[in-house]
A and B are shown apart, each in its own frame.
Chain A
Amino acid sequence: MKVAIGNDSNGIELKEHLKAHVEELGYEVIDSTPDKDFNLFEAATEISKVVNEGKADRGIVIDEYGVGSFMVANKYKGIVCANVFDEHSAKMTVRHNNASIITIGSGIVGKKLAEKICESFLHAEYDGGRHQIRVDMLNKMC
Chain B
Amino acid sequence: MKISIGCDHIVTEMKDHLVGYLKDKGYEVIDNGTYDKERTHYPIYGKKTAEKVVTGEADLGITICGTGVGISASANKVKGIRAALVGDVETARYAKSHLNANVLAMGGRILGIGVIEEAIDTFLETEYEETEESKKLIEQIDSISMNDESLNDEHYFDEFIEKWNNGGYPTT
Contacts and interface: CB of A to CB of B under 8 A. Distances in A.
B150 A141 contact: yes
Contacts of B67: 82, 88-89, 92-93, 96-97
Nearest to A85: B87
A128 B169 CA distance: 10
A109 to B, nearest CB: 9
Contacts of B144: 45, 72, 75-76
Contacts of B77: 74-75, 138, 141-142
A4 interface: no
Chain A interface residue bracket vs B:
35 or more
A102 to B, nearest CB: 9
Given A71-B83, A85-B87, A138 B74 contact: yes
A81 B77 CA distance: 11
B166 to A, nearest CB: 12
Interface string A118-142: 0000000000111011101110111
B18 interface: no
B164 interface: yes
Contacts of A65: 90-91, 94-95
A80 interface: yes
Nearest to B79: A142
A67 B69 contact: no
Contacts of A132: 169-170
A59 interface: no
Contact of A74 (B76, B87, B90, B99): B76
B17 to A, nearest CB: 21
Given A70-B85, A71-B101, A140 B156 contact: yes
A88 B110 CA distance: 8
Given A88-B110, A137-B74, A137-B160, A129 B170 contact: yes
Contact of B76 (A45, A71, A136): A71
29 contacts: A65-B90, A67-B84, A67-B85, A67-B95, A67-B99, A68-B95, A71-B82, A71-B101, A72-B140, A72-B144, A74-B77, A75-B146, A80-B69, A80-B70, A83-B86, A85-B87, A88-B110, A89-B67, A93-B67, A97-B67, A130-B169, A130-B171, A132-B170, A133-B41, A136-B160, A137-B74, A138-B74, A138-B77, A141-B77
8 A-B pairs with least C-beta separation: A141-B77, A74-B76, A85-B87, A137-B43, A142-B77, A41-B140, A82-B69, A75-B144
Interface of B: 39, 41-44, 47, 66-70, 72-74, 76-79, 82-88, 90-91, 94-95, 98-99, 101, 107, 110, 133, 136-137, 140-141, 144, 146-147, 150, 156-157, 160-161, 163-164, 169-172
